[in-house]
Amino acid sequence: MNSKEQDPLSSSPSSRWWSKNTVAIVTGANKGIGFSLVRRFAELGLTVVLTARDSARGLTAVDALMAQGLHVHFFRLDVSDPSSIQSFVSWFKERFGAIDILVNNAAVSFNDQNENSVEHADTVINTNFYGPKLLTEALLPLFRISPSGGRILNISSRLGLLNKLENPKIKEILEDQERLSEKQIENMITLFLEDVRQGTWKSRGWPKIWTDYAVSKLALNAYSKLLAKRYESCGLSVNCFCPGFTRTSMTGGKGTHTADDAAEVGARLALLPLQELPTGKFYIARSTLVCSKL
């Protein structure tokens, strides 16, 4: 799909297929876009599990929603910690049994607008790539596929699009949809972290802006594409969504629009009726929803 293709959100008025039995999980939801997504889902009547790595911050967010008359569930989840993922999934399985929508939203960046440091590359990769990957793998058996299809929305970034990568060998591997494997994606990550350790990362064709963050999203995009292909015939859709330059902590409060604006578009994408639901696509929120090549 390219940017000339139709905005899926403008094709027809979305029909409401969900109910309070529809269960959505959002990671990193104590603030920012994740919090706004939880609020939107709750306003629309879904059952929502708000997760956050810090219990106090998570519960404060739950209280804020409660004050607005919205009830959501909470469980602590640090996506960079495999044992936290395990505890969360055990609790979720016991409490709900099945999931309809997973939004992998939690992420970190240690860069600001004028700086490009890779000092925290391991944390960035663990949180932004391995976190969503491990959580998705643990939840896959719990996806309720019928009648409306299971949905995974990975909140990504256009900084991780393939056109930001100048290393021709890695680009070729990631572009080869037929042969792309998890091993290749993880090998790319290993290579990047090795370049960081060797101090050679600036000359190896990695993305130039917010490099470690961009590589984490590059890997997340590639993994999403692979998952989408693997589960297409099973009724599970996997898409990436870049919220655009949004005013949150991650951008130091700068941006062209609010977290609520971004979440409104993200929620509509996650809730498209089954017959209009894409898979394996990357969408950027602008004035309309633009689809880019992953």
Ligand X SMILES: NC(=O)c1ccc[n+]([C@@H]2O[C@H](COP(=O)([O-])OP(=O)(O)OC[C@H]3O[C@@H](n4cnc5c(N)ncnc54)[C@H](OP(=O)(O)O)[C@@H]3O)[C@@H](O)[C@H]2O)c1
Task: Select from 16-24, 28-36, 39-47, 139-147 the region that touches ligand X (CB under 6 A).
Answer: 28-36
From 130, 213, 231, 283, the catalytic residue: 213
Q: Which is nearer to ligand X, 78 or 195 (CB)?
A: 78
Nearer to ligand X, 207 or 235 (CB): 207
Alpha-carbon distance values, 108 to 28, 179, 200 (Å): 10, 30, 23
Q: Binding string, 250-269, against ligand X, x = CB under 6 A?
A: xx---x---x----------
Residue 223 appears among annotated catalytic residues: no
Residue with Cβ nearer ligand X (163 or 249): 249
* Residues 165 to 194 in contact with ligand X, rule: CB under 6 A: none
Would you say 18 and 148 are in contact if contact means Cβ atoms under 8 Å apart? yes
Q: Does 136 bind ligand X (CB under 6 A)?
A: no
Question: In the complex, which residue's CB is closest to ligand X?
Answer: 32
Nearer CB in complex with ligand X: 237/248: 248
In the complex with ligand X, the residue whose CB is nearer, 54 or 176, is: 54
Q: Are strands 282-285 and 289-292 parallel, antiparallel or unpaired?
A: antiparallel
Name the DSSP class of 144. -
Closest CA relative to residue 42, chosen from 98, 91, 103: 103
Report the distance separating Cα 111 and Cα 101, nearest Å.
Answer: 30
Q: Exactly one of 8, 25, 28, 235 binds ligand X (CB under 6 A); which one?
A: 28
**287 C-beta neighbours (distance < 10 Å), count:** 8
3-state secondary structure 73-108: EEEECCCCCHHHHHHHHHHHHHHCCCECEEEECCCC
Residue 132 contacts ligand X per CB under 6 A: no
245 binds ligand X (CB under 6 A): yes
* Orientation of helix 131-139 relative to helix 211-231, angle to 10°: 20
The string of DSSP letters for 31-56 reads: SHHHHHHHHHHHHTT-EEEEEESSHH
Binding residues for ligand X, rule: CB under 6 A, are: 27-28, 30-34, 52-54, 57, 77-80, 105-108, 127, 155, 157, 242-243, 245-246, 248-251, 255, 259
Tell me which residues are annotated as active site.
Answer: 213
